[in-house]
Structure 1
Amino acid sequence: MKIIKNGIVVTASDTFQADIKIVDDKIEAVGLGLSTEGAEVIDASGRYIFPGGIDPHTHLDMPFGGTVTKDDFETGTVAAAFGGTTTIIDFCLTEKSKPLSDAIEVWHNKSKDKAAIDYSFHLMIGEMNDHVLKELPQVIEQEGITSFKVFMAYKNVFQADDATLFQTLIKAKELGSLVMVHAENGDVIDYLTKKALQNDQTAPIYHALTRPPEAEGEATGRASQLTALADSQLYVVHVTCEDAVKQIEEARKRGADVWGETCPQYLVLDQSIMDQPDFEGAKYVWSPPLREKKHQESLWNALRTGSLQTLGSDQCSFDFNGQKDLGKDDFTKIPNGGPTIEDRMSILYSEGVCKGRITLNQFVELTSTRAAKLFGLHPKKGTIAAGADADLVIFNPDVMRTLSQKTHHLAVDYNAFEGLEVSGKAETVLLRGQVIVENDQYVGHKGQGEYIKRAKYGHQLESKVAQR
């Protein structure tokens, strides 16, 4: 038994002084003056206590562009824990003409006995046929995978056609699952990319210039319209620009069940960083690309007003030396992705809460609670209440620090936010009642994370679990 005393408990709806009683892996009680007899006491004076972060968008040990991400389920989840994240949902990539179960088994093998925190999977849908339709109910019931990803970009690699997206939406409505889209017009991007290469435009900046915000806005609008037509539900990943935000806002005003996610990199970095000498811009090649700085205000406003509802990391790290440089002479060969899992919550707290852009409760909603509700984890995860998993972050708001590759816990050889000063730090992190980060040390053990089978979409979307 553990008692966390003297902390300020913060949920998506409330902020209050309270003690937290933990028995085994669950929260047993939240209240003032809880007895400490026979308990291990953790003093949280002057600290916030958040529910463990839930990162709904990661790519660990993922093959891409002739290489594999630098960070796997061991290094990536340890880094996540240091940042205050206690659950991730990773993307399981499928191959056409092969059973979905084959891909799921591959991802189980990647993660088994490695993950430091709890985890689940989304499943990519690259084609829709009788075999896929037959397998989907089994995927949901047996694996607890209740979200499916469709790529509208990466032509001739991951991109699915509109018929596949529409059929996936229809089936998701029937089965109670959530469809996720990477919303960029892959055909337009393919044309612009070929034109750039024909003109010897090969530097990293052309990755951004050949993937304009209009291509993201168009695809977001198209996916939203198809969702409404199918009377289904949609989650748009890594929204980067005003064009896409407007499409989501308009769809929601029309009553469409559309949700949106952005990522920390789009809130604090902009396109200009890609136009550096000596190939440095390759560090910031990911898709969708960084945008002109003016788009950041639209994203912050969308987080504040609820037009965007979650913050994912889109963690997908490749070394600058030995991986990113595969595209030294051709930006299309630069592996797409960046290291963001560890700094996701810190950046939102420092740039959002501390600068008055969002409230403390919105911070919890964006980094944990809404993802838990959307992806079938609530009320087990995403809140601080009796009966919930004791996934907790004791957060010191007064620490000032500088983000750097020298101090992060990822395996990758650079930090995307190098030199950024942030306020606040996850000092102590508990996973199901066990301390896994303490005194700047990882004190958990390899494989401590458990695979989580998730409930169907909407099962706990508006759960009224008591907050105290």
Structure 2
Amino acid sequence: MALLIKNGKIITAEQSYQADLLIEAEKIVQIGKDIKAPEAEIIDAAGKYILPGAIDAHVHMQMPFGGTVSADDYAAGTKAAACGGVTSIIDFVTQAAGETLVDSLKRKEAACIPQAHIDYGFHVCITKMAENTVAEMKELVAYGVPTFKVFTAYKSSGLMIEDGDLVEVMQAAKEIGARISVHAENGSIIDNRVAKFLAAGKTSAWYHYLSRPEFVEEEATLRVINLAKSLDVPVYIVHLASQEGVKAVNRARNEGYEIYAETCPQYLHFTKDVYKQDNGKDFVCSPPIKGQASQDELWRGIERGDISVLATDHCPFTAEEKEWGKDDFSKIPNGCMGVENIYPYMLDKANQGQLTFNKVVELCASNPAKLFGCSDQKGAIAPGYDADIVIYDPEQEFTVTADKMHSNLNYTIWEGLELSGYPVTTISRGEIVYNNGEFLAEPGRGKFIARSLEA
């Protein structure tokens, strides 16, 4: 059945205007005043905003890490996403030891297909350059996965890539039309500091931050940017959290280099002081949340355009698993929840006047679509685009509590957050999947998003 949204205010990255919106066969087919569609189901959006669904381009669903697996499988993770106004995710596929890149994708996709409530894509992590790596990268690009990630940390977990391989990956990406994202922290310094703190009996969550403070991220960010500049290769820095890292991105962009960065809501809201709290372990993620100066610079980076994307790095673990590190911070599984909170959090900031609603759409929808190769179908409100729509009520008051969230968790780092305005309806490819607190979608309805950076 067709769906007609009437009387709402449409907000895109470029403009805001009053109009009706007609949806048929999963697509937006008409935008205009006083649209007539007698057979359509009508949603009256008077007093509300009509936004593109958010694209969370950085999640880790069902990810093995730290001796366990992240708490949200695709069923719970995509349900939580939809309830917060996220209509597409891009998840990370981590290559296991002895596994080809292609096989790692097939393994992850097999887990996703029967569970996903919303549309999904993948990035593939490269942990080592092998004889067939470039050929496999080409195969994945042709399949619709043109984005790859590397780590400059987590050596003991088998994820860290050496600088020589990093250069080869960057060069290969340039040749085949792919883009490289980098987790930029100095892994060797981290390992050294962790060992020294533990040997000295300094074991609380505060020492997670001190083992990888600002300069550890900043050095690696500068190194990655300098390599990218030397090779004239576009690069994307994931979950940027440090003051000097933002400044390095700003300098490179001002010099004309194609450098992109994302940050996450936890870095915009909390400071390193959370690690001194009794529940500090719950906030352990990497890079860790930094100091006030870094947070302030991140907001300035958003204003200047140095931060191109807001994403979550959604990688939650249960409260019981976080307890593993109560006497040894190095045993705390690294990751926080956020996929249900990112759009409401950023839209609340717009509602308060800290930035515009158009800027939020740019950061959370249109820029992810452009940078990751699906801007021909996602991230915008226009005829021919997928009908991925969020209806937002700027008057809806909402307080985040664990019992209102939809992840496989009984706690949230966002507990008690008071929001002015909240998404009340989420539409995925023309289907209402969430409406006024009720989740309506069936698992397995999500579709793979084949992406191309040539789009």
**Same fold, TM exceeding 0.5?**
yes
Following TM superposition, by how much is the alpha carbon of 1:99 offset from its aligned partner in structure 2, in angstroms? 1.1
In structure 1, C-alpha distance between the alignment counterparts of 2:256 and 2:226, rounded to whole Å? 11
What secondary structure does 2:416 align onto?
coil
AA paired with 1:221?
Answer: L
Matched residue, 1:438: 435
In the TM superposition, what are the counterparts of 1:324-403 in structure 2 within 5 Å?
324-350=322-348, 352-403=349-400
Residues 1:309 and 2:313 are matched in the alignment? no
What secondary structure does 2:150 align onto?
strand
Structure 2 unaligned blocks of 5 or more? none
Matched residue, 2:168: 167
TM-score (norm 2): 0.98
What secondary structure does 1:74 align onto?
helix
Matched residue, 2:186: 185
Following TM superposition, by how much is the alpha carbon of 1:97 offset from its aligned partner in structure 2, in angstroms? 3.5
In structure 2, C-alpha distance between the alignment counterparts of 1:137 and 1:247, rounded to whole Å? 31
AA paired with 2:218?
Answer: G
Structure 1 unaligned blocks of 5 or more? 461-468
Following TM superposition, by how much is the alpha carbon of 1:354 offset from its aligned partner in structure 2, in angstroms? 2.6
Kindly provide the CA deviation profile for residues 146-194 of structure 1, in whole angstroms up to 9, marking residues without a partner as x.
1000001112221111111111111111111110000111111111111
In the TM superposition, what are the counterparts of 1:223-242 in structure 2 within 5 Å?
223-242=224-243
In structure 1, C-alpha distance between the alignment counterparts of 2:249 and 2:409, rounded to whole Å? 34
Following TM superposition, by how much is the alpha carbon of 1:54 offset from its aligned partner in structure 2, in angstroms? 0.2
What secondary structure does 1:189 align onto?
helix
Matched residue, 1:3: 4
Kindly provide the CA deviation profile for residues 52-110 of structure 1, in whole angstroms up to 9, marking residues without a partner as x.
11000000000101001111100010000010000000000002432112211110122
AA paired with 2:419?
Answer: V
Matched residue, 1:273: 274
Work out whether residues 70 and 411 of structure 1, in 8 Å CA contact, stay in contact via their aligned partners in 2: yes
Matched residue, 1:407: 404
AA paired with 1:120?
Answer: G
Kindly provide the CA deviation profile for residues 257-312 of structure 1, in whole angstroms up to 9, marking residues without a partner as x.
110000000111111111123xx211000000011123221111111110101100
Matched residue, 1:466: none
In the TM superposition, what are the counterparts of 1:62-461 in structure 2 within 5 Å?
62-142=63-143, 144-157=144-157, 158-277=159-278, 280-321=279-320, 323-350=321-348, 352-456=349-453, 459-460=454-455
In structure 2, C-alpha distance between the alignment counterparts of 1:92 and 1:108, rounded to whole Å? 9
Work out whether residues 48 and 391 of structure 2, in 8 Å CA contact, stay in contact via their aligned partners in 1: yes
- Of all paired residues, the percent bearing the same amino acid is 39
CA RMSD, aligned part only? 1.0
TM-score (norm 1): 0.95
Work out whether residues 237 and 261 of structure 1, in 8 Å CA contact, stay in contact via their aligned partners in 2: yes
In structure 1, C-alpha distance between the alignment counterparts of 2:70 and 2:212, rounded to whole Å? 22
Number of residue pairs the alignment of both structures matches: 453
What secondary structure does 1:148 align onto?
strand
What secondary structure does 1:76 align onto?
helix
In structure 2, C-alpha distance between the alignment counterparts of 1:98 and 1:241, rounded to whole Å? 34
AA paired with 2:283?
Answer: Y
In structure 2, C-alpha distance between the alignment counterparts of 1:241 and 1:255, rounded to whole Å? 22
